Structure 1
Amino acid sequence: RLSARENLELFARLEGEPDPEGAAERLLGEFGLPGAASPSGNLSVGNRQRVNLAIAFLGDPEVLLLDEPTAALDPEQRRRLWERCAALREAGGAVVFATQNLDEIERQAANVAALRDGRLVFTGPVEEYDRTQSDTLFA
């Protein structure tokens, strides 16, 4: 099993990072990942989620697709994630995420697409979204 550091280095290489070790070290720090030498399977669910999010940010993506990105994250890690997403948007990138957390949608999204029973029931500005319309949201 690979450690958090080894996972980040592997994905950094696959992403074509010129300095995979440096990229891994930077992201370990940015995501506050403890136990970088421990096998990823031994990490808590929240720390595994942080490893996955760090991998998603490798290579300075222009578009980031995230599924339930704050699941198992503590409030501080949620704040850090949304700050990183805001920085990506400010740099001209886009963040698309799926969630059932309506509070996050209202705080983080400009536009929303809503599904009910697998069917698209709404697309548009988050301010126009009626909370009763769906059970899954994409922002």
Structure 2
Amino acid sequence: MRSEFEKWYVDTYYTTNELVPPADLFNCYEDTYLNNDVYHQNLVWQHQQSKVDELKKRVDAFKDHAAMLREAAKSHAYTEREQNILLSQADDIDKILEVEQALKGDQYDKHREKAEQAISNGASLTNHRIEL
């Protein structure tokens, strides 16, 4: 996790501004950054990373639950109506996970590809919208 933080820090504060980071930027003493700004940014990074890790666990639990619902629906122990309810619940979870992916920005590439294709087919880009 430390190298991810350091890469993010350099990209955010140096690379984007076309600056070269000082050689001693990430010097440490017993796992503590000596540079005060780096030290504080790392504390924030760790706090946010713990939130991300917790959310990933929740997403994984949703995925596992959806898979369990689908498996249960295959069972002959349930009526057709009950099986449909289980499948509907699994579908609802999948929709929630799709929204989560869209919020993360994973849909960006799909939308960009569609926009590029529309532009190559004669559409024009005006005011951040594609006019067909």
TM above 0.5, yes or no, is no
TM-score computed with the length of structure 2 as normaliser: 0.30
Q: Which has the higher strand share?
A: 1
Determine which structure has more spread, i.e. the larger CA radius of gyration.
2
TM-score computed with the length of structure 1 as normaliser: 0.29
Q: Which has the higher helix share?
A: 2
